[in-house]
Amino acid sequence: MRVYTRTGDKGKTGIFGGLLVDKDDIRIECNGKLDEVNSTIGLLRVKIPMDHPWQEKLHKIQVDMMDMMSHIATHSRNRDENTINRPTDGEQFCEQWIDEMLNSMDDRHDFFILPGGNEVAALCHMIRTRMRTAERRLVSLNKVDAVEDFIRKYINRLSDLFFVLARNELYNSGLTEEKLRPFRR
């Protein structure tokens, strides 16, 4: 199979179902943002040891991201639920992991923090912000063609998860977060 198709030379790309769309189509933009997230998760995985407790869960997220991107790359009228994997447990997966980490930390989160602290925490914040960008693109896509509910929920929880992963990394490393100011309620 060739990597190049030459359709991109004219500003077009193919999506599942045989449709040809512009390279700046919202569907392509959305998947591009999710691809950036997935690549950055890959970078995070090479920055932590292979036996790190996050490895298996981060791998699951990467696989789930690929499956969600397959759904997004397919117009709703062409989706065949038997041929595309559906990571429908994503919302619960993230919430459970978030709760486990928060329960292991004895610190409340009632303040704004500055991203950073160490390389792993900073990467988690980069993933979090890229996830938020991808989520905004999902909202735009959903206005044009329905995005499955499980994808919107999973993507939303993933940004929360990577925020908590950043905090957990600093907590477990004995580093202090840079607190900016308390939340105003």
Read off the pLDDT of each residue in 101-123 and give the average, rounded to a whole number. Answer: 86
Read off the pLDDT of each residue in 32-36 and give the average, rounded to a whole number. Answer: 96
Report the DSSP pairing between strands 20-22 and 178-182: unpaired
Query: Measured between alpha carbons, how far is 179 from 181 in angstroms, rounded to an integer?
Result: 6
- For residue 25, pLDDT over 80 is answered with yes
- Which range scores top for mean pLDDT: 44-53, 63-72, 105-114? 44-53
pLDDT tens digits, 78-106 = 766 655 677 779 999 999 999 999 999 87
Residues in contact with 8: Cβ distance below 8 Å, sequence separation at least 6, in sequence order: 23
pLDDT of amino acid 97: 97
DSSP-assigned states of every residue in 91-153: HHHHHHHHHHHHHH------EEEES-SSHHHHHHHHHHHHHHHHHHHHHHHHHHSPPPHHHHH
pLDDT of amino acid 87: 77
Task: Yes or no: say if 74 and 17 are a contact pair by the CB < 8 Å rule.
Answer: yes
185 or 76: which leads in pLDDT: 76
Read off the pLDDT of each residue in 149-156 and give the average, rounded to a whole number. Answer: 94
Percent of the chain with pLDDT over 70: 85
> Please, what is the Cα angle at 149 between 145 and 152, to 5 degrees?
85
Decide: helix, strand or coil at residue 6. Answer: coil
Domains in the chain (CATH in brackets) are 25-182 (1.20.1200.10)
pLDDT of amino acid 17: 61
pLDDT tens digits, 135-152 = 999 999 999 999 999 999
Read off the pLDDT of each residue in 95-122 and give the average, rounded to a whole number. Answer: 88
pLDDT of amino acid 24: 81
- For residue 180, pLDDT over 90 is answered with no
Q: In sequence order, what are the beta bridge partners of 113? A: 179
Read off the pLDDT of each residue in 66-86 and give the average, rounded to a whole number. Answer: 77
Residue for token digits 């060739």? 2
Task: Yes or no: say if 47 and 55 are a contact pair by the CB < 8 Å rule.
Answer: no
Question: What value does the mean pLDDT of the chain take?
Answer: 87
- For residue 49, pLDDT over 60 is answered with yes
20 Ramachandran zone, left/alpha/beta (phi>0; psi -120 to 50):
beta
Q: Residue 31: which of 151, 165, 160, 161 has the closest Cα?
A: 151
